Chain A
């Protein structure tokens, strides 16, 4: 199950500036673990120590937020695209 993980600009310093990384994984959680094996330290930017996705980060599988799917248990199929995006927020 080769899936593509899209790396947002702020996290590319972990991935030698790569905008996308291919890994073999059956779930989102497994894909993040594989990503962290390749680029140690990147996972803690995305997840809490207990594995939940941080509140200011959204993860998408083929454009759908995994909060509306099965979270990090969301299954992946060959060719799926996993997007990672930090929140963009502010105020007055």
Chain B
């Protein structure tokens, strides 16, 4: 079980809506099982086409040409490395722990994709929050951990 204040939960949903149809992404910080602050990070998926391709994470038949910037960001996220680093330093400076990351699924369910599961291996045991906008009127946020390639769900308690 994880806990998150209402306004930080809403910040994830607002970021997801603002970036749609692109995926939004960011970091989660707090203490133990309590998220205290979310840190939005720009999605630079369009600069990471080769990164996904060499791992077989580009769907067959899909053409992410360099002259269609942003196209891949509809289905993938890749955090801007410099901004990600800056956010991690900010988390440390605020006396918080880096607990995990969040991202949006603008058109699919709030469950880790194969891409999410494979790439979570770089950050073992971290919290993975996903905000689905599949039904735009009713966003769904769920939380997971990927442990040894297996997905475990964490209940979310929103603190009012």
Q: Which residues of B contact A83 (CB under 8 A)?
A: 85, 89
Tell me if B's interface is mostly helix, strand, loop or mixed.
mixed
Q: Which residues of B contact A10 (CB under 8 A)?
A: 122-124
Cβ < 8 Å to B, chain A residues 62-92 = 63-65, 83, 85-92
Cβ < 8 Å to A, chain B residues 42-74 = 45, 48, 50-52, 54, 57
Q: How many residues of A contact B (CB 8 A)?
A: 19
Interface size class of B (residues with CB under 8 A): 35 or more
- The answer to whether B108 and A89 have CB atoms under 8 Å apart is no
Q: Which residues of B contact A85 (CB under 8 A)?
A: 81, 84-85, 88
With A9-B98, A9-B123, A55-B51 in contact, do A88 and B25 touch (Cβ < 8 Å)? yes
Cβ-based interface call for B9 (8 A): no
Give Cα A63 to B107, complex, Å.
Answer: 35
- The answer to whether A87 and B79 have CB atoms under 8 Å apart is yes
Q: How far is the CB of B159 from chain A (nearest CB, A)?
A: 25
Cβ < 8 Å to A, chain B residues 102-119 = 103, 105-108, 112-113, 115-116, 119
Q: Which residues of A contact B23 (CB under 8 A)?
A: 91-92
Give Cα A9 to B88, complex, Å.
Answer: 11
Residue of A nearest to B51 (CB): A55
Q: How far is the CB of B57 from chain A (nearest CB, A)?
A: 7
Give Cα A89 to B106, complex, Å.
Answer: 16
Q: Provide 19 A-B residue pairs closer than 8 Å at the C-beta atoms, listed in order of the A residue.
A: A9-B123, A55-B54, A58-B82, A60-B81, A63-B86, A65-B82, A85-B84, A87-B51, A87-B79, A87-B122, A88-B25, A88-B78, A88-B84, A89-B115, A90-B76, A90-B77, A90-B112, A91-B45, A91-B113
Interface of B toward A, CB cutoff 8 Å: 23, 25, 27, 41, 45, 48, 50-52, 54, 57, 75-79, 81-82, 84-86, 88-89, 98, 101, 103, 105-108, 112-113, 115-116, 119-120, 122-124, 126, 128
Given A8-B88, A88-B122, 10 extra CB contacts under 8 A: A56-B51, A86-B122, A87-B122, A88-B27, A89-B76, A90-B77, A90-B101, A91-B23, A91-B52, A91-B75
